[in-house]
Amino acid sequence: MLLPGTEIHIFVFFILVVEFIFFLFQIIYYFSRPTDIQRLRFLLLLLFAVYYNSVSGFLPDKNIPLSIEVQNTIAYSGGLLLSFYLPYYIYKSFNLASLKFYAYWGSVVFLFMPFFMCFVVPYYFTGDINLSRKLVVIVPFIYALSFIFCFTKAIREAYSYLIQTFSKIEMAGIYITVIFWTALPIIVYFDGSQLVENTIANAGFLLLIIIAIRKKISESRLEYQMLLLSKDDSKNTEIEIVFDEKRFQENCADFNLTAREREIIHLLAKAYTYKEIAEELFISDRTVAKHISNIYSKTGVSQKSELLAKLEYSLLIA
């Protein structure tokens, strides 16, 4: 069932609207916190997803004053750009050095060049969209399988580090996204319908959106709790700060946290990254990860928000 007056399936249009609304929400959130680089990366990922759904859904359309060849090229460019950006997003977000090749030159060699040589050139010379569609997905599919293998290996090697920064749900979400995206060339090769292609391609991204919303709700609750604590009477502030510091130290002592570990907790509460903590304390990133792993193990938590709540660190904000 198509959206009246267009070539886009009604369900694909629904997915597009959901992603576009969340994209606008992320823009507002990013401009309120322009230093949040991770949010910017996710914002770009959503932008490419919206572009992909738009061009692959609405094009080609005989009512648009462009040649069918140009429209088909634009339509397939959506998948190219999203595939180009996804390895870079994963490389930067997870800080996995072994994926650097895929984030940069790999995408140029195994995605952009095949798109030009196996789709653009054959299509404009033969006019056969079916032949070009089958040719263009062969190399990217092999490349995607290689990426999944290296991504899986990298996660296993850096798991103890990653689990301190990302929840298991977040890691599973991005992994599922990659799996679904790898299946896309197979669907394109066998000339799958627009509904099947876009649903498979967007399943992972919709999952990431749900995870992001869940994480934002959790963060907002913690921020709201801190805001309530900060509204105490100003005449009691100095006394309460001394009391809060004592409470925090007592909690740390209960969990046998060392002085260095307590120092790192202070920096984590200030939203320092692992790299920034390492630079501040003149230690390596790996040492920071080891300290935080020990902190989480001693306190029995798996996320920073849980750690701060358990140690009643938010009371220091009052």
Structural domain for 254, as ranges: 231-317
Long-range own/partner contacts, residues 166-169 (CB < 8 A, 24 or more apart): 166/94, 167/215, 167/302, 167/303, 168/302, 169/211, 169/214
CA distance 272 to 259: 18
CA distance 132 to 120: 8
CATH no. for residue 252?
A: 1.10.10.10
**pLDDT tens for each residue of 209-264:** 887 777 777 666 666 665 655 554 444 444 343 336 777 888 888 888 888 898 89
CA distance 45 to 81: 10
Q: How confident is the model at residue 161 (pLDDT cuts 50, 70, 90)?
A: low
- How many folded domains does the chain comprise? 2
Helical spans, DSSP H, in the chain: 10-32, 37-58, 68-94, 100-101, 107, 113-115, 121-126, 129-136, 138-157, 159-165, 168-189, 194-229, 237-254, 259-269, 274-281, 285-299, 304-310
Q: Examine the domain organization and report whether 197 and 293 are in the same domain.
A: no
The answer to whether residue 162 sits within a structural domain is yes
**pLDDT tens for each residue of 65-94:** 999 999 999 999 998 999 999 999 988 887
The answer to whether residue 169 sits within a structural domain is yes
The predicted structure's pLDDT at residue 3: 86
For residue 9, list its beta bridge partners: 2
Q: Examine the domain organization and report whether 241 and 95 are in the same domain.
A: no
The answer to whether residue 225 sits within a structural domain is no
Share of the chain above pLDDT 70, in %: 86
Of 26-30, 127-131, 310-314, highest mean pLDDT: 127-131
The answer to whether residue 2 sits within a structural domain is no
The residue behind tokens 């390492």 is 278
Last residue of a domain, one of 167, 187, 220: 220
Average pLDDT, the chain: 83
Quick one: tokens of 183? 């299946």
Q: Examine the domain organization and report whether 283 and 242 are in the same domain.
A: yes
**pLDDT tens for each residue of 86-144:** 999 988 887 788 899 999 999 899 999 999 999 999 999 999 998 998 999 999 999 99
Answer yes or no: is pLDDT of 195 > 60.
Answer: yes
Last residue of a domain, one of 220, 243, 266: 220
Q: Examine the domain organization and report whether 30 and 165 are in the same domain.
A: yes
Quick one: tokens of 277? 């903590």
Answer yes or no: is pLDDT of 37 > 50.
Answer: yes
CA distance 246 to 312: 11
The predicted structure's pLDDT at residue 239: 39
Instruction: With CA atoms as reference, report the closest residue to 318 among 232, 196, 205.
Output: 232
CA distance 115 to 112: 5
Count Cβ atoms below 10 Å from residue 143 Cβ, excluding itself: 21
The answer to whether residue 120 sits within a structural domain is yes
The answer to whether residue 108 sits within a structural domain is yes
pTM score of the predicted model: 0.71
Count Cβ atoms below 10 Å from residue 195 Cβ, excluding itself: 15
Last residue of a domain, one of 185, 220, 255: 220
Q: Examine the domain organization and report whether 215 and 252 are in the same domain.
A: no
Give the Cα-Cα-Cα angle 76, 79, 83 (nearest 5 degrees): 145
